Amino acid sequence: MAAGGGREGAASIHYTPRVTAGAVSADLVIPAADPAVLREICAWDGFRPATFASSDFPVDVVRFDGSASRPVIVSRARRAETLKALPASLRQRTEAAFARAAAPHAALRLANGRSIDLSRGPAVMGIVNVTPDSFSDGGVHFDRGRAVEAALRMLDEGAAVVDVGGESTRPRNYGDARELPADEEIARVVPVVAGIRARSAAPISVDTRKAAVARAALAAGADLVNDVTGGRYDPGLLEAAAGAGAGAILMHMRGTDPRTMQDDVRYDHPLADIAGVLAEAAARAVDAGVAPDAVALDPGLGFGKSPDGNLALLRHLAAFRTLGFPIAAGASRKGFVRRFSGVEEDAGNAERLPGSLAAMAAAASAGAILLRVHDVAESVRYLRMARAIASPSAETAATTRASVR
């Protein structure tokens, strides 16, 4: 996990997605730890899986995008045997999918010679909404000075990057968000980006759908563009990012308008449909000139998803690693978090925090490597503790040995 803002270096050797223009595979490896999860996955493709012994689990369901071939179920205990029995073309696709899913991402390349270090686990992205009408914190950071101070505090608390947004993308159930003209959005965002850059060398992201806003923010010192429409609202945004050498986080949402994204939340396949859109977004970014190792993908929790659909995404978020890019996720304070954690619609942010941390933990354990949050200090501490439990360092191992003697 990124433990401090302003760390710009990254490992000199790291995995770079092997992407040629126009070619990003949407084949998926979907892990299943037990028979119930396996049945859920197979039901989406309309078939019942064969009975597997308990010793065969965990298994992986390999789904071939655009193919008439039924998904292949591969027991990790017998992977080599299963792959050998496949036709050559499917075996090659399966091996490539497994390789992409397992590939590490040590850094996300940004503009201005910066990068986000991903080598030590998930990096936290602090949310700075310079809006009067965002769903959970509208107006809190609408003042430029307060927004800059909030961003600097988040970096001190351990955020690896801060994400500055000037246009609300809240769903309609919180009231229609007003679509801003680019010049108004620029007037909100650019002074904040410039104010942060004047006082910190840490990575800065701009959350926008518009090429003009992206260009202005990048000129003011931003290093990364976070687009909730994945470059579909304004295709010029990807060219703007490429021209600045910036990173790009490309998210999935239904349509390109937050006011209508919840009108239809049905999917033929809740993972494959989203993966296909994200693969196309990544291909468009690379075609536009964005470096493959500067692209991250976000399945878009809460953006055109039903409450249960958001839970399914969190359960199976690991599948999106097969796309071959770092995965970002943001569940912080969202409506489904409130609903399933059992707090009221008008609950304060403190009441939403436990559910937000649980959703963040699920995303991190599934392999999401960029975690977008409002509550930076609490999120960083949670991830620090989880990492300490899962991966004892030499220092903690020595302490344990001493205490046992």
Q: For residue 401, is it within any domain?
A: no
pTM of the model: 0.89
Same domain flag for 224 and 361:
yes
Residue 18 carries which side chain, given as an amino acid letter? Answer: R
Same domain flag for 32 and 151:
no
Same domain flag for 67 and 179:
no
Q: For residue 122, is it within any domain?
A: yes
Q: How many CA atoms lie within 13 A of 363 on its CB side?
A: 31
Same domain flag for 119 and 67:
no
Same domain flag for 248 and 158:
yes
pLDDT (0 to 100) of residue 405: 46
Q: What backbone torsions phi and psi does residue 215 show, to the nearest 5 degrees?
A: -60, -45
For the record, the structure tokens of 95 come out as 């091996």
Q: For residue 7, is it within any domain?
A: no
Rounded-to-5 percentages of helix, strand, coil across the chain? 45, 15, 40
| Residues 137, 129: Cα–Cα separation, whole Å | 7
Q: For residue 269, is it within any domain?
A: yes
Q: Which of 78, 102, 126 is the last residue of a domain?
A: 102
CATH of the domain at 192: 3.20.20.20
| Residues 158, 319: Cα–Cα separation, whole Å | 28
Are 307 and 99 in contact by the 8 Å Cβ rule? The answer is no
Q: What angle do CA 233, 248, 228 make, to 5 degrees?
A: 40
Q: For residue 64, is it within any domain?
A: yes
Q: For residue 91, is it within any domain?
A: yes
Q: Please state, in angstroms and as integers, the Cα–Cα distance from residue 346 to each residue in 188, 320, 356, following that order.
A: 27, 33, 16
Same domain flag for 347 and 269:
yes
Q: Which of 85, 102, 119 is the last residue of a domain?
A: 102
69: CB partners within 8 A, 6+ apart: 90
Torsion on CA atoms 284, 286, 289, 292, rounded to nearest 10: 150
The helix/strand/coil state of 382 is helix
Same domain flag for 175 and 53:
no
List the catalytic residues: 334, 372
Strand (E) or helix (H) holding 225: strand 224-227
Same domain flag for 112 and 95:
no
Q: For residue 397, is it within any domain?
A: no
* Strands 224-227, 204-207: pairing kind: parallel
DSSP 331-351: -TT-HHHHHHHT--TT--HHH
Same domain flag for 354 and 274:
yes
Same domain flag for 239 and 123:
yes
Same domain flag for 89 and 120:
no
Number of domains in the chain: 2
Same domain flag for 163 and 254:
yes
Q: For residue 252, is it within any domain?
A: yes
- State which residues form the domain around 175: 107-390
pLDDT in tens, the chain (405 residues): 343 444 333 333 344 565 554 589 999 999 999 999 999 999 999 999 999 999 999 999 999 999 999 999 999 999 999 999 999 999 999 999 999 999 999 999 999 999 999 999 999 999 999 988 545 554 566 689 999 999 999 999 999 999 999 998 766 555 566 789 999 999 999 999 999 999 999 999 999 999 999 999 999 999 999 999 999 999 999 999 999 999 999 999 998 888 888 888 999 999 999 999 999 999 999 999 999 999 999 999 999 999 999 999 999 999 999 999 999 999 999 889 989 999 887 788 889 999 999 999 999 999 999 999 999 999 999 999 999 998 876 455 545 445 444
Are 166 and 180 in contact by the 8 Å Cβ rule? The answer is yes
Q: Which of 102, 132, 162 is the last residue of a domain?
A: 102
